[in-house]
Amino acid sequence: MHLLFCWTCVLVLVLPGPCSTAPTSIPEEEVTALITGQTQEDLKLATEYLRHYYNLKKEQPLARIKRYLPSFTSKVKDMQSFFGLNTTGSLDSETLEVMSTPRCGVSDVEDYSHNNRVNRWNKNVITYSIGSYTSDLPHSTVDSLIESALSVWARASTLTFVRSLTQRADIMVEFATFEHGDAYPFDGSKGTLAHAFGPGEGIGGDAHFDDDETWTAGSKGFNLYLVAAHEFGHSLGLRHSQNPESLMYPTYKSSRSSHNLLSKEDIAIINSLYGPKNSQPYYYSRHGWNPLYNPWFLGSHFPLMMQNKCSADLSFDAVSTLGDATFFFKDKYLWIKHNQQYDIKEGPINNFMPKIDSKIDAAFWVPRRSTAYLIHESMYWTVKGSIVKGKPKPISNFGFPPWVQEVDAAVHIVKTGRTLFFIHDIYYSYNENRRVMDAGYPQYISDDFQGLNTTIDAAVYKDGVIYFFVGPHVYKYDYTQKQVVGTEKANTWLGC
C-alpha cells in the first residue's frame, strides 16, 4: 500500500516497505571538511530533506565518508531538477528556501503504483467518515470543508462521495498529534501538516491531519479546505506533480484560489483513473492509436504537466525522427507525431521510455541501423525499435574531446552518412560508417551554414533539408544549395 503524506503537508509513500522517518545526522566534522560554506543547520536540513524525499542513504562509516559527498551532491541536483531550480548541486539560498517550505512527505522519486498497475479504487462510489475533529474549528465547519474538498474531485470526474457514520469508510479523516498509530508520527507545529494513504484495504485512503497546526477556513494558519483537497487527491491515487499550478504540487500555497483548484493536468489524471464527468472516456489519443500493439502507448499515467503545444513561444530541446514518427522533446515532456496520422501523443518522457527520467538535449536517428540516440548532458541512450537498450553511455564514445560535456543539437544526414553535433557556435562532423570524428573539426556554424549565427536548439533532416529549431522559430536550410530557404514557427510542427 502507498502512504502519501500531503502537500501543505507531508506525504509519505509506502511502497513495499515504509520510508524512514527518523533520519540521522551526518558526522559533522567529516561533512564540514568536505562541504564548505554551509552552516551545520543548513547541512542538517538538507540531509534530512534528501533522505526523506530523495532516497539519500544513511552516512557510511567514516572510512567511506568520501563516497558520501558525490551521492549528496547528486541528490541535491535531483531535488533542484524536480523543482525547476538551477541544478548546481550546491545548497544555494533558493534551494534551502524550498527545503524549508512545508510540503508533502511523499518521496519525489518514488512511483505510487505497484508493478506498474494503476493505483485506484475499483469503484466510483467512495465512502468517507470523520473519526475525530480539531478544536480549531466548529464541527459543522470541518464537516463542510471536508465535503467541499471531496467535491473538488467529484465535479471533475464520475466519482461520488457518500458520508458514512461508521468507522469502516473508504476514507477515514482523523486529526491527531505526534505518534498516532500508523508508524508515521507528526512533528508538531509548522512541520508535517498532514498525510494520506493511497487506495486500498485497511488504512488505505485514510487522511490524517496534524492537530498541532492551526486549522482555519481562511488565509491565516493552514486552510483545511486546500490541504484536504490535496490529501484526497492522494486518497484517490494521484501522485505528486512538478507543475506549480497543480493541486498536487508538493508544497503548500496559501495564496491558491479556492475556486477552480484543479489544473488541466489534475483533471486529465483523475479522468484517466475514474472517467470524466460526461459519458465519453477521456483519451489523449485518437484515430487508431492501439495501446495493445503500439510500443509508444502513453501508459497508465497521463502527463504530469500538460504543455500548450500551440503557444506562440513554444520551443523544443530536441527533435528527431524515429521510424515513421517525429519526436519533439521539451524539458521532461514529449510529443509524438506520426507522419501519416493527424493525432499527436503526448506526456512525460518516462511514460514512453521508463528508463529515462531526465530531459533530452539532443537526438538523432540513423535509419540504416533503425536506431536513435538521445543525449542528456554528457551521456546518451540508444533506442532500438521502441526499446531503450541498456544503460546510458558517455558521449566521449563519439570521439569528443574531454571538455565537451553537453550537446545543443544533433542531426544525421542520410545523404552523406554524417551526424552533425552542434555545440554553442561550433559543430562536429561524425562519420557513422567508420564511427570516428571527421578530421578538421570543429568548425564554426556561421562559416558553413550561411544565415545561422546563433546557438541551435534542435535539428532534424528530411528530404534533403535540415530544419534548424532556434527558440520558437524554425529555419529551413537546403543542404544542397547551402542556404536558408524559409522560416516558420515551431508550433506549426504540432499542427498549430
> Do residues 238 and 148 both lie within one domain?
yes
Q: State which of 99, 132, 147 marks the end of a domain.
A: 99
What is the percent of the chain with per-residue pLDDT over 70, rounded to a whole number? 80
Range of the domain at 73: 20-99
**Is 463 annotated as a binding-site member?**
no
CATH number at residue 77: 1.10.101
In this structure, the number of other CB atoms found within 10 A of the CB of residue 275 comes to 16
Report if residue 289 sits inside a domain.
no
Does residue 65 sit in the same domain as residue 197?
no
Per-residue pLDDT, averaged over 342-360, amounts to 82
pLDDT grade, residue 260 (50/70/90)? confident
The least confident of 284-288, 312-316, 401-405, 479-483 is 284-288
For the segment 10-32, the average pLDDT, to the nearest whole number, is 39
Q: Note the pLDDT of residue 257.
A: 64
Q: Are residues 93 and 123 in the same domain?
A: no
Q: What is the pLDDT of residues 204-245, one digit of tens each?
A: 999 999 999 999 988 889 889 899 999 999 899 988 888 999
**Cα distance between residue 173 and residue 130, in whole Å:** 5
User: 496: annotated binding-site residue?
Assistant: no
Residues 396 and 458 in one domain: yes
Output the pTM of the full model: 0.50
For residue 307, being part of any structural domain is answered with no
pLDDT value of position 235: 92
Checking if the pLDDT of 113 tops 70, the result is no
Does the pLDDT at position 11 exceed 50?
Answer: no
Q: Do 80 and 125 fall within a single domain? A: no
DSSP SS3 for 161: strand
Does pLDDT of 31 surpass 70?
no
Mean pLDDT for the chain overall: 80
The answer to whether 287 is a known ligand-binding residue is: no
**Is 14 a member of any domain?**
no
Q: Check pLDDT > 80 for residue 40.
A: yes
Any domain includes 416: yes
Per-residue 3-state assignment (H helix, E strand, C coil) for 176-214: ECCCCCCCCCCCCCCCCCEEEECCCCCCCCCEEEECCCC
Last residue of one domain, picked from the residues 66, 99, 132: 99
The side-by-side arrangement of strands in the sheet containing 458-462 is: 458-462, 465-470, 473-478, 483-489
Model pLDDT, residue 325: 84
Contacts of 175 (CB under 8 A, 6+ apart): 132, 133, 134, 208, 209, 210, 211, 215
CA 302, CA 157: separation in Å to the nearest integer? 15
Please check whether residues 202 and 339 belong to one and the same domain: no
- Residue 262 inside a domain? The answer is yes
Say yes or no: 243 and 342 in one domain.
no
Are 130 and 78 in the same domain? no
How far is the C-alpha of 249 from the C-alpha of 467, rounded, in Å? 36
What percent of the chain lies above the pLDDT cut of 90?
36
**Residue 187 in marked binding region:** yes
Write the DSSP string, 49-101.
Answer: HHHHHS-PPPPPPGGGHHHHHHHHHHHHHHHHHHTT----SS--HHHHHHHTS
Q: What is the pLDDT of residues 288-300, one digit of tens each?
A: 223 222 333 333 3
pLDDT > 70? residue 375: yes
Catalytic residues: 231
Is residue 361 pLDDT above 90, yes or no? Answer: yes
Set of cell numbers at residue 378: 554528457
**Count: domains in the chain:** 3
Q: Is the pLDDT of residue 259 over 80?
A: no
Residue 121 has a pLDDT of: 94
Residues 167 and 266 both lie in one domain:
yes
Q: CB–CB of 110/52 below 8 Å?
A: no
Q: Which cell numbers hold the place of 147? A: 465535503
Q: Do 143 and 166 fall within a single domain?
A: yes
Average pLDDT over residues 276-298: 36
Residues 56 and 92 in one domain: yes
Backbone angles phi, psi at 437, to 5 degrees: -70, 140
Residues composing the chain: 496
369 with 468, same domain?
yes
Last residue of a domain, one of 259, 274, 289: 274
- The CATH number that applies at residue 349 is 2.110.10.10
pLDDT tens track for 141-185: 899 899 989 999 998 998 989 888 888 899 999 999 999 998 778
Query: Stretch 471-476: mean pLDDT, rounded?
Result: 92
CATH code for the domain of 228: 3.40.390.10
Q: What is the pLDDT of residues 308-317, one digit of tens each?
A: 778 888 899 9
Say whether 245 counts as a known binding-site residue: no
Residue 11 forms part of a structural domain: no
